[in-house]
Amino acid sequence: MYDVLIIGAGVSGASIARRLSRYKLDIAIVEKDVDVSMGASKANSAIVHGGYAEPHEELRGRICYPGRTQFEGLNKELNFGFVANGSLVLAFEEEDKDALQKLYDMGIENGLPDMEIIDQEKLREIEPNVSDNAIAALWCKGAGVCSPYEYVIALVENAVANGAELFLNSRVCDIQKDDDHFVVKTENDKELEAKYVINASGLEGAIVSKMIAETDFDIHPRSGEYLIFQKGTGKKINNVLFQVPTEKSKGILATRTFHQNLLLGPDAIDEEEIDLSTHEDRLMYIYEEAQKSVKDDVINLREFIRSFTGLRPASSTHDFIIEESNVPGFINVVGIQSPGITSSPEIAKIVESILKDSGLNLEEDPNYDPHRDPIIEYKELEDMNKIKDKVNLPLGDPERIVCRCEQVTEKTIRDAMNRGIPVETLDAVKRRTRAGMGFCQGQFCKPRVLEVMEDEMGKKPYDEKFDSERSGLSRLNKKRINELIKEMQDTNRKEIEKKEEK
């Protein structure tokens, strides 16, 4: 019997598992999908938020900043990729300054010590490529960016290294209370017993809760689409650039990723059904809105490599739900949308406190090791001419470069596959090593990666979930972007010709 069973291996479940693995506990992590970080934690803005965007009355407003302050230490222990490059909320009109003041006041109430409202001169000093139309900004120095899926992978790897057990492909279908413990059943016929159950199942949070507890909330998907550009394009921006937020989102942003890709998005659409496709009209809206934040030469659509959609598990309460249910020992951790990644260290602490108050004995494990070695670290790409000989090395040579665009070696791929989490899809290797994330989007390296995986596993990897192209999703690609560029150029030319005729 497990002491604690966690349903869901997204950022909340992973953070809780890693936090609890420091104690002498038997921990199970049960995940419905083929890998960890497959839901909202995989596809998002990757921002470690400042903590000024939500009011203090909301739980997410109170715990965002305390969570943010832990990221530097977590990154030193887990090596997932984090940089505190700062954030700017831009004002373009005089009335926008009132919104900046409101955000500043909320930040002060939430305990932030590192904000200031700056004028045009200061703004252009710290962000030379900001739009000439920006007249002021709220600057938060300690906000930043991380690699979100690498963060979740690191958390789970470390939890597993400290004794937690991970069960993938194990969708929970039934939960029963049997005297002093729970019996959790999965669709693949597992039956697990645990003293405490933590529901961190993301978009399925209400569904799982209703299996055992009175549930007075709903969870619905809120989609946001993104445009991402090739590596190096993120160097044009120093800070995360927000616009004045709306009721649903923090506005269209332009930011660098940890690995120096330019990222634009998201919009925010409440959905009735899950849809991970991307749509031309939404992406063009994001492109046009993001252009308002920067100078004309910052965003070049010819450097676009991919579009994607993220889904946020928005709750009917409009806030995080972190509480023990009416069934003692069953704890809901749901509705964790933005700023969920930033808040995740504090979410884990709250759950730890609930468990302690509920009677779970938390005895420190002297063998607990908080360290996890990196799989990859940020690197500048070498000149292709200098690495071409390594590309042609034979299978089995650790220095063989499997992915040219991101210069990923065979040694890195094999390391990623032997970290305590089963890695059996191309997509799983991609998130851990960046093989396939470069300019050609895997056209060169896909068969090479699969070759290494088959050699390492001794069997063919199953890849029905490896990428959108095999799952029937429709996503804007580079070919269509180039067509749209031509259409826009033709439209602009015709408008100019009409004006000249007049």
Looking at 24-131, list the stretches that DSSP marks H as alpha helix, in order from N- to C-terminal side: 59-68, 71-78, 96-109, 120-126
- 110 DSSP 8-state letter: T
Whole-angstrom distance, CA of residue 475 vs CA of residue 473 = 6
Whole-angstrom distance, CA of residue 215 vs CA of residue 326 = 9
Cis peptide leading into residue 55 (ω within 30°):
no
Report which residue type is found at 419: R
Whole-angstrom distance, CA of residue 319 vs CA of residue 101 = 23
Enclosing H/E stretch for 231: strand 219-231
- Cα 294 to chain centroid distance, Å, stands at 24
**Catalytic residue status for 49:** yes
Whole-angstrom distance, CA of residue 433 vs CA of residue 410 = 10
Q: Do the strands 87-91 and 240-243 form a parallel or antiparallel pair, or are they unpaired?
A: parallel
Backbone torsions φ then ψ of 267, nearest 5 degrees: -85, -175
Say if residues 177 and 327 touch (Cβ distance below 8 Å): yes
Strand partners, 311: 223
Enclosing H/E stretch for 356: helix 340-357
User: In the chain, what is the straight-line distance between the N-terminal and C-terminal CA atoms, in Å?
Assistant: 82
Report which residue type is found at 97: K
Three-state secondary structure call for residue 176: strand
Report which residue type is found at 141: K
**Length of the chain, please?**
502
| DSSP per residue, 142-171 | T-EEE-HHHHHHHHHHHHHHTT-EEE-S--
Which of 103, 416, 92, 81 is closest to 259 using CA atoms?
81
Choice among 49, 181, 259, 279 that is catalytic: 49
Which of 478, 483, 431 is closest to 305 using CA atoms?
478
- Residues assigned a catalytic role: 49
